Amino acid sequence: MLSSSRREPTNGLTAVARHYVCVGDVQDLACESRGDHLGSSSILSQYGSAAVLSPRVGSLMPVKLATVSQGTAVSPGCRMWNYPTPITRREHRAGCGSGEPSHSVREPCSSCCMPSKEWPVVWAAVREERRALIDDLTALRPEQWATPSLCPGWDVHDVLAHLVSTAKTTRWRFLRGMVTARFDFDRDNAAGIARERAATPAGTLAEFRRVVDETKTPPAAPATRLVEAIVHGEDIRRPLGISREYPIEHVATALRYQLKTPAAMGGGKQRAEGSRLVAVDSGDAAGSGDVVRGSGLSLLLAVSGRPVHPDEFTGEGAAAFLSRLAIAD
């Protein structure tokens, strides 16, 4: 996690470190270019300026920032899914497509990525979840749009505007927005809501319907879009008393992703530590420790920092799990 200090940038453009950057399908490990992918907070902590990935894959555009905000706190309910892919260092194998022998590289960590062959399945699930939410929202009464969501400070209309914004967010748009927001995630999210929140809920819903099939994503795995569709869907549905029977595999995919992803990157890995979580509907189990049983949806919401009811969990580890969640959030 970045420190809470602020740093003034160096004068001029960022000097780009000379090593390979691997982007795209982490399984293929295709080296696209030289340079330092500075989209990650772990890398940004080392620099006062940032090199921004341009629309052409592998091309880096240096930009000068006024300041870099480090360790910015955001609402725990909504700190999710707009983060750059975390970067780790590992030894590259020969024959990866770079034309070079084995060498050390930086690449998206495997915990936050998936093979590109799985992306069509994930995007199909995202589209289905978006359409289901549209169906649920179509019949809302005007006053229901002002209902506070599970995201602190956001009402139902705000969450929908956020979903419209993220559905339109490309890698370039995300990085450009973060530069404009001086790497303040709260400010960037607020800007997205202000941009996409129409004068009426009907207008925002119409725009969400228009982008329902979009497959854009910030510098993060497509699974983040599925996590966002489900979790933000519940941010809206639960306060309104609306229930949805989610396809088990949709929730299982989102939960598996969250359990591998650090909380600092919007995931739930740390919240699950010390427990063996068992999804009673899918049969998935992960972690070590006292057993906590619950539906996949309840477990997903819990590790994503959402309020959950104690009755949603059973097992000898349930009480301790809930206590740790209360401390963490």
- Write out the DSSP string of 250-282: HHHHHHHHHHHS-GGGT--HHHHTTEEEEETTT
Summarised one tens digit per residue, pLDDT across range 73-131 is 333 335 443 333 333 333 333 333 333 333 333 333 433 445 566 789 999 999 999 99
Angle ∠(55,122,251) on CA atoms, nearest 5 = 135
Residue 46 DSSP label: T
Query: What is the β-pairing status of strands 60-63 and 68-69?
Result: unpaired
This prediction has a pTM of 0.69
Residue 227: CATH number of its domain: 1.20.120
Q: Could you count the other beta carbons within 10 Å of the beta carbon of residue 220?
A: 26
185 and 285 within one domain: no
The answer to whether residue 33 is domain-embedded is no
Give the per-residue pLDDT at 266. Answer: 86
Query: What is the β-pairing status of strands 285-286 and 313-314?
Result: unpaired
The answer to whether residue 48 is domain-embedded is no
The answer to whether residue 106 is domain-embedded is no
User: What is the domain extent for residue 284?
Assistant: 268-328
314 and 274 within one domain: yes
Summarised one tens digit per residue, pLDDT across range 17-58 is 222 223 332 222 222 222 333 333 332 332 233 333 333 333
206 and 299 within one domain: no
C-beta separation of 137 from 160 below 8 A: yes
Nearest residue to 259 (alpha-carbon basis) of 232, 278, 244, 246: 278
206 and 146 within one domain: yes
Distances (CA, A) of 248 to 114, 125, 252, 263, 292: 19, 11, 6, 23, 18
Give the per-residue pLDDT at 115. Answer: 54
The Cα–Cα gap between 242 and 238 comes to 6
Summarised one tens digit per residue, pLDDT across range 246-274 is 999 999 999 999 999 998 888 999 999 99
241 and 280 within one domain: no
- pLDDT at 169 exceeding the cut of 90: yes
The answer to whether residue 227 is domain-embedded is yes
Query: What is the β-pairing status of strands 285-286 and 275-279?
Result: antiparallel
288 and 171 within one domain: no
237 and 144 within one domain: yes
* Domains held by the chain: number: 2
Query: What is the β-pairing status of strands 20-22 and 104-108?
Result: parallel
The Cα–Cα gap between 36 and 53 comes to 9
The answer to whether residue 29 is domain-embedded is no
The Cα–Cα gap between 299 and 81 comes to 18
The answer to whether residue 121 is domain-embedded is yes
151 and 190 within one domain: yes
Residue 67 DSSP label: -
Strand ranges (E), the chain: 6-7, 20-22, 31-34, 50-53, 60-63, 68-69, 87-91, 104-108, 275-279, 285-286, 290-294, 313-314
Round to the nearest angstrom and report the end-to-end CA distance of the chain: 16
The answer to whether residue 167 is domain-embedded is yes
Token readout for 278 is 């068992």
196 and 303 within one domain: no
